[in-house]
Amino acid sequence: MNILIATDGSEDASNALNFMLRFPFPRDTKMTVLTVVTDIPMLPAELDVIDEAQTEALNQANKRLVEDAQELVAREGERLRDDGWSGETMVRNGNPVNEILHVAREIEADLIVLGSHGIGMAKRFLLGSVSDRVLEYATCSVLIVKKKPGEDGEAAIEPGTNAPYRIMLAYDNSDVAHEALKQCSSLPLEDNSAINVIYVMPLITAYRQDIRQHINSIWQQKKQIMQAELEKAVSSLQWAIPNVTTQLREADNVSDEILTAAEQEGSDLIMFGCKDKGAIKNFLLGSITRRMARYADCTVWAVRNKNSDKS
């Protein structure tokens, strides 16, 4: 597995690295730590009147930004190496979103990891713009690390020690859901971890009664089919971890119901397949993916199938 960790030295980025040190990724995973330097901007009007001394001061300030960035990734890279992970560090100059996406393609990353404010719907409407846009335009999977309410931001468990995790896997039997299932089953989780596989069926409420009655029989058949598919998912996971359960729910809003279930279960992570294929094929991110990424209280992992993007 090849992971790109984007950092900017903030508390959110520190939370992301703490998560990486705790989470049981396969030990042969390669991790690359990236930070992006954005030069101190000057307005076009200012460029005409700036003198040589001011130009030199600006150049020195930008040089210090690069030096600080190099020190940052060196520290973060050392933390990963001390914990036994292999990888490298990078400093790039430019637009953070563009550079993160460019490096991800360059190193053929399987997963991009970023921090997020993650303070929930009541206090914040949008994710940080970088996390939001990387999630929308990336062609690989994206993991957005959030500090759950009540956490202090420090690693709750010593780095290098696998912890029991409560994972909610949103499943709908699509190709990307199968990819998320495959990814989840490959994780070396502790036996006392728990995976809850959930499928939410959208309620049928927008039609006349006679139409609803006709659709209802089809809906009941689909419900039976999905219950069987959930049991197949359990079989795929139980070889890796014994504690696997399922939920089949019905709701008007699929994403809200998944978020409610994750909160009720005390989930540490929500995994789900991301049906979009990045900016080239789809301009807008799927509404379910976007809402879960924005409003989840816990870390979210949007899984994309890289092979399906090669066209």
Strand partners, 110: none
- The helix/strand/coil state of 223 is helix
Q: Which residues contact 71 (CB under 8 A, 6 or more apart)?
A: none
Count the alpha carbons within 13 Å of 183 in the hemisphere toward its beta carbon: 30
pLDDT confidence band for 64 (50 / 70 / 90) = confident
**168 vs 294, residue with greater confidence:** 168
pLDDT in tens, 175-186: 999 999 999 999
Averaged pLDDT, 151-158: 47
Domain residue ranges in the chain: 2-309
**189 vs 197, residue with greater confidence:** 197
Average pLDDT, the chain: 81
Place of tokens 């931001």: 153
pLDDT at residue number 126: 38
pLDDT in tens, 208-226: 565 666 677 787 888 899 9
pLDDT in tens, 251-286: 988 999 999 999 999 999 999 998 755 443 444 446
2-309 CATH fold = Rossmann fold (3.40.50)
Report whether 272 contacts 257 (CB < 8 A). Answer: no
Q: Is the pLDDT at 112 greater than 50, yes or no?
A: yes
